[in-house]
Structure 1
């Protein structure tokens, strides 16, 4: 399993609209091959900062499958205009876990 992590800095006046758009976009990403699950978390200290965590079966499912798809173009239209600055996305694999 691969964990995609993105810190999303949303334009301060658009957090409500972002959350509504993200709800729509969730339907897109959750339909993709290799998708396992996702979480969008809002920061308690910084109102317009979010953490996006997406679990994929493989790195290629995200970087090639999702990002290379027509569905990703719709995802971009729904979400990318909310970010300032545009987020860096990183991918992680488990080294150690307390979960069995």
Structure 2
């Protein structure tokens, strides 16, 4: 399993609308993508315009090719992109260890 970690900054004062948009975007678009295995969204306490989106994929290619090179990526960005204060920082991770 691959973890996609997206560090997202949005425009100030848009938190309530973005809270709805990011959940809708995952539910309606990303969750239907090949290899999607789940997600988590965390929002900043000290930095309320900062969000950390974690998406779990079966393979790296499920995100980088199957999703990002599909029309669904444009659908996702149409939902959440207008809130972005700048491009999100996106990185991928493989699991090293976890608790029981």
CA–CA separation in structure 1 for the residues paired with 2:82 and 2:15: 12
Q: TM-score, normalised by structure 2?
A: 0.92
> 1: distance between equivalents of 2:48 and 2:23?
18
Pairing of 1:17-36 with structure 2 (within 5 A): 17-26=17-26, 27-36=28-37
The answer to whether the aligner puts 1:8 opposite 2:12 as a matched pair is no
- Rounded Cα–Cα distance in structure 2 between residues aligned with 1:11 and 1:92: 27
Q: Deviations over 1:37-74 (max 9, x none)?
A: 00111111111111100000000000000101111111
Structure 1 counterpart of 2:71: 70
Q: Aligned equivalents of 2:2 and 2:82: distance in 1?
A: 26
Residues paired across the two proteins, number: 99
RMSD: 1.0
Structure 2 gap ranges (5+): none
Q: Which moved more, 1:68-77 or 1:16-25?
A: 16-25
Moved beyond 3 Å, runs of 4+ = none
Structure 1 portions without partners, runs of 5+: none
CA distance in 2, matches of 1:56, 1:18: 23
